[in-house]
Amino acid sequence: MSDDRAVRVGFAFARQASAEPAARMCGACVEILEVSGAGVTIMSGTNSGPVCSSDERMRRLEDLQFSLGEGPCRDAYNIGLPIIEPDLELPVPGRWPHYTLAALQIGARGVFAFPLTIGAARVGVLTLYQDMPGPLSVGQTADSLVVADVIARTMVSIQSGSELPLLAVELSDQHAHRAEVHQASGMTSVQLGINAAEALLRMRAHAYVTGQSVGSVAEQIVARTLRLGDDRPHNGSE
């Protein structure tokens, strides 16, 4: 990648996203990279949460990966390499069976996930979406790598100035529900006598079955209007 391209794309992205990093970051991705939509996710091991999305439909696609526990974002983070799926109607066999069907129903056809890395450390993933099938161009791919690098540095810079252990407020949006998710998984863990990881899996399963986001399920648990133990079969009359 030429230094000229990196400077040009990096400057253009920074200018577009400079107003409010979380609010503008994904919108700037769409404008600079000429894609249908974009989402940014911060990740740490099996823990993840959306930072921003370019519109409501992309928010649903991003939350879908968090709810189902599968998708390009997780794969890109796990292996540290871009994940390219130019046509979800002709996917790699066996790849993301639940995610693929749901993403097509929302209207995505191509999906491209780029890990956000600083040195050897992975901090999250930039996921790009196209409404039409087909690969990104060579130029789009090169520009996406530059943008992913800028986003990674931006996220680390913001988080380094925060005292919050999970996610700086500047990297949270109203849809992320990260605090509620962690609180709800802790409450469910205690209520059902299971570990936090299993509690989160229960929350994801409930969200998938009921057609909700994990954030919405977490809010209900924290508000004590939902207790996941209550959705298990009971004997006797209602």
166, 198: one domain: no
d(CA 208, CA 189): 19
Same domain, 167 and 192: no
Q: Residue 238 falls within a domain, yes or no?
A: no
pLDDT at 167 over 50: no
**Residue 15 shares a structural domain with residue 108:** yes
Residue 229 CB burial class (10 angstroms; 0-12, 13-18, ≥19): exposed
Q: For 205-211, which contacts have Cβ atoms below 8 Å and span 24 or more sequence positions?
A: 206/231, 207/67, 208/67, 208/68, 208/98
User: How many CB atoms are closer than 10 A to CB 5?
Assistant: 14
- Residue 86 and residue 189 in one domain: no
Taking CA atoms, 163 is separated from 55, 167, 171, 181, in Å, by 29, 9, 13, 19
Encode 21-37: b = buried (16+ Cβ within 10 Å), e = exposed.
bbebbbbbbbebbebbb
Average pLDDT rounded to a whole number, residues 118-125: 85
Do 8 and 116 belong to one domain? yes
Residues 201-233 have pLDDT tens digits of: 778 777 767 777 777 888 888 888 888 864 444
196 lies in some domain: yes
Domain membership of residue 42 (yes or no) is yes
Q: How confident is the model at residue 176 (pLDDT cuts 50, 70, 90)?
A: very low
* Higher per-residue confidence, 206 vs 95: 95
